[in-house]
Amino acid sequence: MSNKVSHSDQETELGTQARLLARSVDRGYLATTMQDDQWPYASLVMVATAYDGSPLLLISELAEHTQNILKDQRCGLLIDGTAGLDTPLTGSRITLIGNLYKSNDSSSLKRYIRRHPDAELYAGFADFALYQMAVERVHMVAGFGVIHWIDGDAFCWNAQEAAELEEAEFDIIEHMNDDHDDAVALYATSLLGLEPGDWRMTGVDPEGCDLRAAGTVARIDFERFAGNAEQARAELVKLVKKARKTANF
């Protein structure tokens, strides 16, 4: 990541918007090339994101899409942010284009399982492996006529900028879920207007935090970039103050 090219302010902002969309959903549609006849093949996959924002997939070698990837790592991944809209085409969606590689990073696997708790049941199966997408380009549609191509380096940022926070992520999540579960619930209900439930924090990154209750996932973005645990704590405190103020109206 150290040899990233510089980008305009606009492309950096668009890359951030696309990355936050990818962090906010838990599934996507993976397009691969059939290994035998080269026809395009699309499939539903459950998605999480690595610390730099790149997509993570836990997939079986027995699946058609994985067999395709083992022959040709090039793929496309559609992330759909239009759920719940009366007119879906007015909503945002991104298509990530890149290569899918096996990953042996244990931290990324833990992030994926926290995002998708059911995955823990099969994460240890011999035919399953974690894959991470190296994003080359992003095609973003943010409504009718609002269309942009974004460089992959503008989509993923240098995770080393927040290495301290990444190291502390599990402790922060455990602390919030064990000692401040009321605050986590308020994030979902008061700030996001979601239904009450067993809301748990599943991830913390420099741009925000991820939540989950049963089959529903949610995302809250921070006001400021948090590069370490203390900065993340300050952002989480600001969020809960805002949530309590909103709840009292």
What are the backbone dihedrals phi and psi of residue 201, each rounded to the nearest 5 degrees, phi first?
-85, 135
Give the pLDDT band of residue 27 (cuts 50, 70, 90): very high
Give the pLDDT band of residue 3 (cuts 50, 70, 90): very low
Instruction: Tell me the pLDDT tens digit for each residue of 124-149.
Output: 899 999 999 999 999 999 877 789 99
DSSP secondary structure letters along 93-106 = EEEEEEEEEE---H
Average pLDDT in the chain: 92
Instruction: Tell me the pLDDT tens digit for each residue of 224-238.
Output: 999 999 999 999 999
The model carries a pTM of 0.91
Query: Which is the CATH superfamily of the domain at 162-247?
Result: PNP-oxidase-like (3.20.180.10)
| Residue 85 CB partners (closer than 8 Å, separation 6+) | 91
Query: Which is the CATH superfamily of the domain at 9-157?
Result: Electron Transport, Fmn-binding Protein; Chain A (2.30.110.10)
Domain parsing of the chain, residue ranges: 9-157, 162-247
Integer-rounded Cα Rg, in Å, for the chain is 18
Q: Two tokens at 57?
A: 């997939």
Give the per-residue pLDDT at 6.
61
Work out the angle between the directed axes of helices 106-115 and 163-179 (0-180°, nearest 10). 30
Tell me, yes or no, if the two domains 9-157 and 162-247 fold the same way: no
| Residue 232 CB partners (closer than 8 Å, separation 6+) | 165, 168, 172, 204, 206, 222, 226
Rounded CA-CA distance 128/41 in Å is 20
